[in-house]
Amino acid sequence: MTTHQANRFSSLIGEIYDAAVDPALRSGALEQVSQFVGGCAAMILSRDSARLTIEIQQHFGTDARFRQLYRDRYVELDPLLDRHLTLASEQTIGVTDIMSHADFLETSFHREWVEPQGAIDLATVALEKTAARTTILQVLRHRSRGTVDDAMRERMRLLAPHIHRSQIMGRQIRARSHTVDDLADVLDGLNTAICLLDADGRVVHANAACRQLFADANLLAIVGDRIVARNTQTDKIFRSLCEFDEGTHSAARRQIELATSADGQHYLLHAFPLKRDRSLPRDIAATMLFVQRASMLPLLAADAIAAAFRLTPSELRVLMAIIETGGVPDIAAKLGVAETTVKTHLGRLFEKTGAGRQADLVKIAAGFAVPFARRTSGDDGAA
């Protein structure tokens, strides 16, 4: 291989791996592979071990009609395809490794499929062999270049492991991308506002409910890539939740705080530490922040609350009124009962739930919130 060819080979390896990251580059990379090894057309195809299915994963220089013909008929007449079942991976073979070229010219595979494409010969190399399937690179040789030679075999052998690794990388990248997209869709479907923060408190991701919370800006707002509290009480709570160290880590995991927004709404805040290493890259989530509006009565599973704590209908009504209204006088007025009656039910609620104050009752009830947001037409998923 000359210096120019070696430089071209090195550049081509880079193009092959670039195609793993950007699928739009695959066709161009395969074209460069075909030309570098001395071919005029190429396909990467995969066949299952039972020889029942054939999949053309990538192609260059082959007309759609010929690809369909290959799948429908000529795959069974290809003299090289199944030879790789017994050969080592990355071993390149040409027609003359199987039969004389004169005999190959007489086959219907050559006359009806290879020759009409302007080719005279072909070579293949196995990229991957598993118990389930074999994947190969097939390259056609144009009649003007003559039959497959040793230089073509060697170049295909050298490129095969890089093409194989590129395919593996591409699968892993796509799998990760799908996982991230699916997770984002799930988070956007929740009515609880969820925000992922890095080790320095910068926002890495916010679901739809959280983005709406920031847009309303009554409790928390986003300035640049950081969260800003709208009042002193919430700021103090937010900072305490997001400041973790080794000594407070286990306690912080269980800490839930009640904050009040500028418009008087009550919210439950809970921060869960994921990682505490400040040397992590900027886009790695270190903390997950949950924000749930405490007055979301329609989203509470009231029947489940009543069953869990064996509440009477009157006790459940008082509990729901505590979440929505708050003080005993207001609850009494709302329900049309005496304040002493409310206090009696409140005492029973404390006894049955183990709560010591009304704020604790709110936190307990929030644990029975329906997790998924109720979507309407035109809804972006925010609660």
270 and 318 together in one domain: no
200 and 337 together in one domain: no
pLDDT attached to residue 146:
92
Report the CATH number at residue 47. 3.30.450.80
168 and 260 together in one domain: no
pLDDT attached to residue 225:
82
Q: How many domains does the chain have?
A: 3
pLDDT attached to residue 280:
53
pLDDT attached to residue 200:
80
324 and 251 together in one domain: no
pTM comes to 0.51
203 and 136 together in one domain: no
| Position 378 in a domain | no
318 and 199 together in one domain: no
Query: Which residues of the chain are modeled with pLDDT < 50?
Result: 245-254, 372-383
Question: Which residue range(s) make up the domain with 221?
Answer: 189-291
pLDDT attached to residue 276:
54
Question: Are 114 and 123 spatial neighbours (Cβ–Cβ below 8 Å)?
Answer: no
245 and 310 together in one domain: no
Give 197's Cβ-side CA count (13 Å radius).
27
- Tokens 């973790």 found at: 244
155 and 193 together in one domain: no
DSSP letter string, 207-270: -HHHHHHHHH-SSEEEETTEEEESSHHHHHHHHHHH---TTTHHHHHH--EEEE-TTS-EEEEE
Report the CATH number at residue 348. 1.10.10.10
d(Cα 285, Cα 204) in Å, to the nearest integer? Answer: 6
| Position 383 in a domain | no
| Position 375 in a domain | no
Question: Are 335 and 342 spatial neighbours (Cβ–Cβ below 8 Å)?
Answer: yes
